């Protein structure tokens, strides 16, 4: 599944014009229900976990690599379906979009080749 239009992502209270940004600087982070966009900046590799038990089906958001450290997305439970070859960001500035459908997480965007 390749996403070609992420314009329908919603911010707080369904506001299409506002996406709350959660800036993180550590080497690991687990998404919370309020995360519309997470921007992670670290020189080292970063692990971002999507935990379906703290989210609702239909939730979606963005993960952006703002530092040099490559982000690897994982799940605490459920199934991860990647739109690219990996669940890793391709480079600094890369953006990944995710969508939770039941216990399945769809991930697509600027994914690393390997």
pLDDT digits (tens, 9 = 90+) for 40-53: 999 999 999 999 99
Report, in this order, helix, strand and coil percent for the chain, each rounded to 5.
5, 40, 55
Phi, psi of 18, deg, nearest 5: -130, 125
Question: Which residues lie below 8 Å from residue 109, measured CB to CB, with a gap of 6+?
Answer: 3, 63, 83, 84, 89, 94, 95, 96, 97
pLDDT digits (tens, 9 = 90+) for 70-100: 999 999 999 999 988 999 999 999 999 999 9
Domains recognised in the chain with CATH numbers: 22-109 (2.60.120.640)
pLDDT digits (tens, 9 = 90+) for 13-25: 555 556 788 999 9
């Amino acid at each position: 599944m390749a996403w070609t239009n992420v314009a329908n992502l919603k911010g707080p209270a369904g506001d299409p014009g506002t996406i709350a940004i959660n800036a993180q600087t550590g080497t690991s982070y687990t998404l919370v229900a309020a995360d519309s966009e997470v921007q992670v900046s670290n020189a080292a590799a970063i692990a971002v976990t999507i935990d379906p038990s703290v989210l609702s089906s239909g939730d979606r958001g963005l993960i952006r690599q703002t530092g040099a450290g490559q982000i690897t997305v994982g799940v605490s439970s459920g199934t991860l379906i990647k739109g690219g070859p990996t669940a890793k960001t391709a480079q600094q500035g890369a953006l990944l979009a995710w969508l939770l459908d039941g216990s399945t997480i769809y991930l697509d965007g600027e994914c690393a080749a390997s």
